[in-house]
Amino acid sequence: MTQTADNDTPRRPSTGGSVVISVDAMGGDHGPAAIVAGIAQSAEKNPDIRFVVHGPKDELTRLIAKKRGLSERCEIRDAAGVVTMNDKPGQVIRNAQGTSMWSAVDSVRAGEASVAVSCGNTGALMALSMIRLRKLPGVNRPAIACLWPSRNPQGFNVMLDCGADIRADAPDLLQYALMGASYARNGLGVERPRVGLLNVGTEEHKGRAELKQANELIADAQQTGGFDYVGFVEGGDLPSDKTDVIVTDGFTGNIALKTGEGTAKLVGDFLKEAFAKSILSKFAAVLALTSLKRLQKRIDPRRVNGGVFLGLNGMVVKSHGSADSTGVSAAIKLAFQLAQSGFQDRLAARVAEAAANVEEAHALNASSTDGALS
């Protein structure tokens, strides 16, 4: 208890300083042209970023040359192979050498880039990142953290795990709490994040056995972890201002994330249909255009594009496979912010500090049966 939360309080660097980002140009649904367009968009907005771009050299050279001033800021790494969306993680690990994804992650491993960004297959990217970057000492399961539009002042909540691993036991959930709190501090500037554990009710007797154990472990770690634990939260709290970080296993997190995205899209579509119904409503829509654009901007999934892999020796940002140039640019912006805040070192320090606690917790984690009726 000698250390406080200060060791990863967000630091805004006074000198800009150039950040190098490694980008996998392949594997996205819209091909390398959309990704290069996203790089160009970021480059224009932020003069402090330089890029290492991975993919077939000739095609990338041609695409990059089309964007004014971009070639001076990009280094191209030739990689002929592509990991597709249908490749299984196991196959990828055996055959990935020579692919753009492998090459992009290896730039971080070699230390020539601070973060890798890829639109490719999530399972393959995580498997590859684990093999090439290795887990941080003390981390059992790495996690994917994603951002959720919320009513909080910072505009977003962090949820993890969003799908790195379908399993998580109590000590893993504790680790997610620590890593998520660190991310909220460094990525969102929340000084003392509040952490909640996702469950089917807020009462202590609810949920699976591992959730009841994690509930105690996380409560005990508040002081050393530099966060406040708010206890169990429910699906409806994901966008709420009750918590900044939501901890859950990767199965539940993935379902919640896609359900939220799907619901927002449904409401958006219904809204469009409602305004297209009659001449008067079409006229109203024209007048309401500014308001509707304001709404769209707040819930645009492209603005929150980027799942961050936590718990590895190096940073990797997973962009949506369907990301267009705006989405790719948002993922690069997130990568840049995390690199500038020195997040990776702070997270590593935090995890090392907690490793002893987690090991202790692992020892206590006797397997037990699920709870009764929720």
Please select the residue that binds its own copies; options are 45, 62, 66, 298, rule is CB under 8 A: 298
The CA distances from residue 200 to 72, 212, 271, 315, in Å, are 53, 12, 30, 32
Closer residue to its own copies (CB): 100 or 254:
254
Closest separation in Å from C-beta 45 to its own copies: 25
> Considering only residues 143-172, where is the footprint of its own copies by CB under 8 A?
149-151, 163-167
Closest separation in Å from C-beta 91 to its own copies: 10
Closer residue to its own copies (CB): 39 or 145:
145
Please select the residue that binds its own copies; options are 31, 89, 321, 342, rule is CB under 8 A: 89
CA–CA separation, 309 and 306 (whole Å): 10
Please select the residue that binds its own copies; options are 110, 274, 352, 364, rule is CB under 8 A: 274
Please select the residue that binds its own copies; options are 84, 97, 263, 368, rule is CB under 8 A: 263
238 binds its own copies (CB under 8 A): yes
Region from 61-69, 233-241, 323-331, 353-361 binding its own copies, contact rule CB under 8 A: 233-241
Please select the residue that binds its own copies; options are 9, 61, 222, 240, rule is CB under 8 A: 240
Closest separation in Å from C-beta 338 to its own copies: 23
Closest separation in Å from C-beta 361 to its own copies: 20
> Considering only residues 172-201, where is the footprint of its own copies by CB under 8 A?
198, 200
Task: Please say whether the beta carbons of 170 and 217 come within 8 A.
Answer: yes
> Considering only residues 57-86, where is the footprint of its own copies by CB under 8 A?
86
90 binds its own copies (CB under 8 A): yes
Q: What binding mask, one character per residue, do residues 1-40 give for its own copies by CB under 8 A, x or -? A: ----------------------------------------
Closer residue to its own copies (CB): 177 or 198:
198
Please select the residue that binds its own copies; options are 292, 300, 322, 365, rule is CB under 8 A: 292
Q: What binding mask, one character per residue, do residues 110-149 give for its own copies by CB under 8 A, x or -? A: -------------x--xx---------------------x
Please give, one letter per residue, the 3-state secondary structure of the chain: CCCCHHHHCCCCCCCCCCEEEEEECCCCCCHHHHHHHHHHHHHHHCCCEEEEEEECHHHHHHHHHCCCCCHHHEEEEECCECCCCCCCHHHHHHHCCCEHHHHHHHHHHCCCCCEEEECCCHHHHHHHHHHHHCECCCCCCCEEEEEEECCCCCCEEEEECCCCCCCCCHHHHHHHHHHHHHHHHHHHCCCCCEEEEECCCCCCCCCCHHHHHHHHHHHHCHHHHCCEEEEEECHHHCCCCCCCEEECCHHHHHHHHHHHHHHHHHHHHHHHHHHCCCHHHHHHHHHCHHHHHHHHHHHCHHHHCCEEEECECCEEEECCCCCCHHHHHHHHHHHHHHHHCCHHHHHHHHHHHHHHHHHHHHHHCCCCCCCCCC
CA–CA separation, 126 and 134 (whole Å): 11
Closer residue to its own copies (CB): 15 or 290:
290
294 binds its own copies (CB under 8 A): yes
Closer residue to its own copies (CB): 66 or 258:
258
Closest separation in Å from C-beta 127 to its own copies: 6
